[in-house]
């Protein structure tokens, strides 16, 4: 594996931002950036062998700070939403910044995605580290997070995220990468075919906070158990789709067990023949069809992306779990290690 490190830019607060390019024996590559431990590019071949970048992102590293889409980055301390920006842990209530309607989203406006992480090469891998201080964005405990990326000759990208704390806290970490398997800047993803290993999803209120129970997807526009084009039902008159102007919903992965890798999703672009399979140790996957991409910074394609030009497949724990004792736990305590993995495998059909 060839790994090249380069200075990508300097943040407005004077921190150096680095980019790493990992290239395998076939010339397929991954680019990572130290803003938010981001996946900046993934260059993989189509069915004719032509390599294109299938990840949405920006050429200017400073555009990654505070971007609405959270493109390619690791949001935290809690990915997704926490209702009203409040939760109670061990009898104490914590208040978080509200930045998405009435709710807290992705760790707030100064979340992990908007930080420059420390970085290094580690053998054939690249590691990013962020230290979140006690009280940052209202969360308790000093927290150390390490994101470990590996890219191999089988066009498989693996992310392992680990974290430790010195006081009880809540934690939900994922990567918010957007895919367009026809190549970024090449139109929308409504014709992409999506299949999910999920027979249930979480209904929400109109601010996208779960109602507390899971519903079956069968007989609804939320059913991706059998592959179908993303755009087939996206305009249906259905609460989940009306609230988010498209899919922005948490699907429960069938057969998920803590610490075990499980198939989560398959994405296929009939036009290019590129196929993506996603596996994870996480219990759920949030599907977000880029419903609000318009107005984002200028992309690598030379223009701003429009709505539905990318789909995010965010393997994670459930939204608002700290306020739902019936959901899989997201509390991390001293002496415990948070450890989750996501594997993206690219091929053609």
176 included as an active-site residue? yes
Give the active site residue among 127, 193, 314, 317: 314
Q: Can you list the domains of the chain with their CATH numbers?
A: 2-348 (2.70.98.10)
pLDDT of residue 74: 98
As a whole number, mean pLDDT of residues 118-125 equals 96
pTM: 0.98
∠ at Cα 43 (37, 47), nearest 5°? Answer: 145
pLDDT of residue 174: 98
Q: Concatenated DSSP letters for 177-221? A: -EE-TT-TTS--STTSEEEES-SEE--B-TTS-B-SS-EE-TTST
314 included as an active-site residue? yes
The CA–CA distances, whole Å, from 305 to 62, 114, 185 equal 17, 20, 7
Q: What is the pLDDT of residues 254-299, one digit of tens each?
A: 999 999 999 999 999 999 999 999 999 999 999 999 999 999 999 9
Confidence of residue 65 (pLDDT cuts 50, 70, 90): very high
Backbone angles phi, psi at 240, to 5 degrees: -60, -35
Confidence of residue 215 (pLDDT cuts 50, 70, 90): very high
Q: SS3 string of 125-186?
A: EEEEEEEECCCHHHCCCCEEEEEEEEECCCCEEEEEEEEEECCCEECECCCCCEECCCCCCC
Backbone angles phi, psi at 82, to 5 degrees: -125, 125
Nearest of 58, 75, 127 to residue 315 by alpha carbon: 75
Q: What is the pLDDT of residues 66-106, one digit of tens each?
A: 999 999 999 999 999 999 999 999 999 999 999 999 999 99
Q: What is the pLDDT of residues 217-237, one digit of tens each?
A: 999 999 999 999 999 999 999
As a whole number, mean pLDDT of residues 316-330 equals 97
Whether the CB-CB separation of 147 and 161 falls below 8 Å is answered with yes
pLDDT of residue 23: 98
Confidence of residue 22 (pLDDT cuts 50, 70, 90): very high
Q: What is the pLDDT of residues 146-204, one digit of tens each?
A: 999 999 999 999 999 999 999 999 999 999 999 999 999 999 999 999 999 999 999 99
- Kindly calculate the radius of gyration of the chain based on its CA atoms and give it in whole angstroms: 19
Give the active site residue among 106, 176, 192, 279: 176
């Amino acid at each position: 594996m060839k790994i090249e490190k380069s200075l990508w830019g300097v943040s407005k607060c004077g921190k150096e931002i680095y980019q790493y390019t990992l290239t395998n024996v076939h010339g397929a590559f991954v680019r990572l950036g130290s803003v938010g431990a981001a996946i900046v590019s993934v260059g993989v071949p189509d069915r004719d062998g032509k390599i294109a970048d299938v990840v949405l992102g920006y050429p200017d590293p400073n555009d990654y700070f505070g971007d609405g889409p959270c493109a390619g980055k690791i949001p935290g301390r809690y990915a997704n939403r926490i209702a009203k920006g409040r939760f109670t842990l061990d009898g104490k209530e914590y208040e978080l910044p509200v930045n998405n309607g009435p709710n807290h989203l992705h760790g707030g406006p100064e979340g992990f995605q908007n930080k420059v992480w420390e970085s290094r090469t580690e053998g054939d891998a690249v590691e990013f580290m962020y230290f979140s201080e006690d009280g940052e964005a209202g969360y308790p405990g000093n927290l150390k997070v390490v994101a470990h990326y590996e890219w191999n000759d089988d066009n498989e990208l693996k992310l392992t995220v680990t974290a430790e704390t010195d006081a009880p806290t809540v934690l939900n970490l994922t990567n918010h990468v957007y895919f367009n398997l026809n190549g970024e800047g090449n139109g929308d993803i409504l014709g992409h075919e999506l299949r999910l290993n999920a027979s249930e999803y979480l209904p929400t209120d109109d601010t996208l906070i779960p109602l507390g129970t899971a519903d079956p997807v069968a007989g609804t526009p939320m059913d991706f158990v059998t592959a179908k084009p993303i755009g087939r039902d996206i305009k249906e008159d259905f609460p989940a789709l009306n609230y988010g102007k498209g899919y922005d919903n948490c699907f429960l992965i069938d057969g998920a067990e803590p610490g075990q890798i499980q198939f989560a999703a398959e994405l296929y672009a009939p036009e290019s023949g590129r196929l993506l399979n996603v596996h994870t140790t996480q219990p759920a996957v949030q599907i977000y069809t880029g419903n609000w991409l318009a107005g984002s910074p200028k992309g690598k394609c030379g223009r701003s992306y429009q709505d539905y030009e990318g789909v995010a497949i965010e393997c994670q724990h459930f939204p608002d779990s700290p306020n739902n004792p019936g959901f899989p736990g997201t509390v991390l305590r001293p002496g415990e290690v948070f450890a989750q993995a996501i594997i993206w495998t690219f091929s053609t059909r």
